[in-house]
Amino acid sequence: MKGKWVATLCAISIVVSILGVLILTESAWAQPAKKGVLEIGMTGPLSGAGIIYGYASLAALQLTMDEINQAGGLKVGATVYTLKSIPYDTKYLPEPAVTAAKRLVYEDKVKIIFGEIGSAAGLAMQAITEPNKVIFLPDTYTERMLSPDKPYTFRMGITPVEFAPSMLAYYRQRFPQAKRIGYLFREDETGRSMLRLQQKHAPETRFEIVPFPVEPGTMDLTPLVTKILAGNIDILDANGNPPGEVTQIVNIAKGMGWTKPIVRTGGPIVDELIRLCGKNANGFIYREDSDLSQPKVAALVNRFKAKGYPATPCTNMPPFYDAAHILFKAIEKAGTIDDTTKIKEAMESIESYDGIQGKVRWGGKEAYGIAHQLLNPSFIGEIIDGKPTILQRVDIK
């Protein structure tokens, strides 16, 4: 009889123990995840001539953050983070960019800075970001932005290194009799870098590049355009100058009777050109970062407009948007918001990503010595009857 009571007590003890474990486990499961806020710095021209580029970067970051926040936040380890951006206006100039980088790194204590457009600004910022191991995602054109000794920098958009050959090949196909390209380049790191690359690739397509420098801040470009038109030029390339300067160049040239091709081998500008040049924009040939006729891209543009940003949508927003998604995917994969070396390694390990316009991937090892260049598609278009028309898609290898 005593043995039965002992067995019963043992059985009860086991059941109680099991129930206790289950209760503790259920309690652990029921505990809410830790909450936090992850702040990402953003710099770019949010005023002045390059305003559309700056807001393309800011919108790409904020729209991506909106998606993640609305889905519950970014889970990194045991913590779920609400994402927040800290934007600074660098006005397309290096001095404000350095000030912004210092404030973001030393005062705001961010580990990641997203979005800078200006090459001179970006290079100046790297003197702060790289020694502090801050992840930096710019969209600058200078080939000096990426190198093995700058391991924490990842570039979001393709540059003339990637797209200049295809643009020159198109000009040769479209204008077989043309010989001399009048090349307007901004007298800064962006413009000089683009000129170097244009001159490098021009012999492959039997073009002569005739350079014409544009001093940043020049208000009246009439004397420069007059000089160009008198220079026996077959094609006028408005290059990577900011939209305000390019639209002035087009209007002045057309007003002086220029009927030969005007092209732009540089970055996005179409909406501003149509708005500010009207009929003068017709026939303008340009390079683009995206095709606005694609449903996913059009939906992203509509979200931009709904935000009420004080700028028109810019077509380099889609590659920036892809880069933002890759960034947050890497943070999640790294399992940390503080160890930027682990985040960098996680970024590098993402071999490809299903972007808004198809697969994108990191490349650029041959050109820069490090595969930190996001390779996106490139598009060639023309303004026809006041509307942008994509003529050709170029997938960058």
Averaged pLDDT for residues 374-383: 96
- The answer to whether residue 12 sits within a structural domain is no
- 339's CB contacts (< 8 A; 6+ apart) are none
- 341's CB contacts (< 8 A; 6+ apart) are 133
Looking at the fold, whether 190 and 278 belong to one and the same domain comes out as yes
Looking at the fold, whether 222 and 126 belong to one and the same domain comes out as no
- The answer to whether residue 18 sits within a structural domain is no
E strands present in 90-231? 112-114, 135-137, 180-186, 208-214
Got the DSSP string for 222-271?
A: HHHHHHHHTS--SEEE-TT--HHHHHHHHHHHHHTT--S-EEE-SS--HH
Looking at the fold, whether 171 and 282 belong to one and the same domain comes out as yes
pLDDT of residue 28: 44
- 259's CB contacts (< 8 A; 6+ apart) are none
Looking at the fold, whether 318 and 369 belong to one and the same domain comes out as yes
Looking at the fold, whether 256 and 281 belong to one and the same domain comes out as yes
What CATH number does residue 86 fall under?
3.40.50.2300
Looking at the fold, whether 121 and 237 belong to one and the same domain comes out as no
- Return d(Cα 335, Cα 313) in angstroms, integer: 34
Got the DSSP string for 270-319?
A: HHHHHHHHGGGGTT-EEEES--TTSHHHHHHHHHHHHHT-SS---TTHHH
pLDDT of residue 15: 43
- The answer to whether residue 240 sits within a structural domain is yes
Contact 166, 172 (CB under 8 A): no
- The answer to whether residue 382 sits within a structural domain is no
Helix (H) or strand (E) holding 21: helix 2-30
- The answer to whether residue 319 sits within a structural domain is yes
- The answer to whether residue 383 sits within a structural domain is no
Looking at the fold, whether 140 and 198 belong to one and the same domain comes out as no
Looking at the fold, whether 70 and 146 belong to one and the same domain comes out as yes
Whole-number percent of the chain with pLDDT over 90: 78
Looking at the fold, whether 275 and 353 belong to one and the same domain comes out as no
Cα Rg of the chain (Å, integer): 26
What is the count of structural domains for the chain?
2
- Return d(Cα 209, Cα 164) in angstroms, integer: 13
Length of the chain measured in residues: 397
Q: In the predicted model, is pLDDT for residue 5 greater than 50? A: no
Q: Which tokens belong to 316?
A: 């380099």
The 10s digit of each residue's pLDDT in 25-79 is 444 444 667 999 999 999 999 998 789 999 999 999 999 999 999 999 999 999 9
159: nearest Cα among 181, 184, 137, 142: 142
Contact 171, 205 (CB under 8 A): yes
Domain boundary among 262, 288, 314: 288
CA atoms within 13 A on the CB side of 151: 12
pLDDT of residue 27: 44
Question: Residue 343 belongs to what domain range?
Answer: 34-158+293-376
- The answer to whether residue 201 sits within a structural domain is yes
Residue owning tokens 């990194």: 76
What is the band of 397 on the pLDDT scale with cuts at 50, 70, 90?
A: confident
Angle between helices 119-129 and 189-201 (to 10 degrees): 110
Domain boundary among 231, 262, 288: 288
- The answer to whether residue 111 sits within a structural domain is yes
Looking at the fold, whether 119 and 170 belong to one and the same domain comes out as no
Q: Which tokens belong to 331?
A: 């943070």
Name the average pLDDT for the chain: 91
Looking at the fold, whether 60 and 165 belong to one and the same domain comes out as no
Domain boundary among 255, 288, 321: 288
- Return d(Cα 227, Cα 95) in angstroms, integer: 31
The 10s digit of each residue's pLDDT in 204-221 is 999 999 999 988 878 899
Looking at the fold, whether 169 and 226 belong to one and the same domain comes out as yes
Residue owning tokens 């509307």: 387
From 102-116, 260-274, 292-306, the region with the lowest mean pLDDT: 260-274
